Amino acid sequence: MSAAEFGKVAVLMGGWSSERQVSLDSGACVLEGLLAADIDAHAVDPDPEQLLGLRSAGYARVFNILHGTPGEDGLLQAACALQGLPVTGSGVQASANAMDKAATKALWRQAGIPVADDAVLTHAEAAEADLDALVEQLGLPVFVKPPLEGSSVGVVKATSVAELRDAIAAARAWGSRVMIEAAVTGKELTAGFVGDDNLPLVEIVSAAEFYDYDAKYVSDQTQYKVPCGLPGELEQALQAQARAAYEAIGCTGWGRVDFMLTDDGRAVFLEVNTTPGMTTHSLVPKAAAALGWNMPTLVKRILAQTLVGNDQAVAEVAA
Q: Which residues are catalytic?
A: 19, 151, 282
**First vs last C-alpha separation in the chain:** 10
Cα distance between residue 23 and residue 271, in whole Å: 19
At a CB cut-off of 8 Å and minimum separation 6, what does 309 contact? none
Beta bridge partners, 36, equal none
Strand (E) or helix (H) holding 12: strand 9-12
How far apart, in whole angstroms, are the C-alpha atoms of residue 287 and residue 7?
Answer: 28
Give the Cα separation of 202 and 286 in Å (integer): 8
DSSP-assigned beta bridge partners for residue 259: 189, 269
Alpha helices by DSSP H, listed for 37-68, are 48-51
Distance of alpha carbon 147 from alpha carbon 150, whole angstroms? 8
Strands lying side by side in the sheet with 142-145: 118-122, 177-182, 142-145, 156-158
* Residue 57 DSSP SS3: coil
Q: Are 296 and 36 in contact (CB under 8 A)?
A: yes
